[in-house]
Structure 1
């Protein structure tokens, strides 16, 4: 996510605490937060997909997603 969008999220959060937000600003804040969370989840998933666990006996295996 671009730094200017993160700055905007922070500015809207500050304004919400101090004076409140208009309906348009609330909608913008919600959309920006959803985009941020989606990017965070994607980044975390990519990091976990590339994680290798090393066992004490020297063997290694990649992490796999748990199936329900």
Structure 2
């Protein structure tokens, strides 16, 4: 998870870009922070999806094959 300070800085840079614009250094910082945020978000979402098991009303595992394969690959690595 991204720190509260980094999230606050992303918001601060976003507001500034809308109002007065960003310097080149600030634009680079904003880009790097956004990239880090997206990587963290995607990793968290991937872990969440891979930990889900879907069961139908009859009790059968109907988890999509792609998710099952991702789980297997995760445990093999």
Alignment of 1:12-27 (within 5 A): 12-27=13-28
* Count of residues in correspondence between the two structures: 67
Q: Which residue of 2 aligns with 1:41?
A: 42
TM-score (norm 1): 0.88
Q: Which residue of 1 aligns with 2:5?
A: 4
Where in structure 2 are there 5+ consecutive unaligned residues?
A: 68-77
Where in structure 1 are there 5+ consecutive unaligned residues?
A: none
CA distance in 1, matches of 2:65, 2:36: 25
Higher strand share: 1
TM-score (norm 2): 0.79
Higher helix share: 2
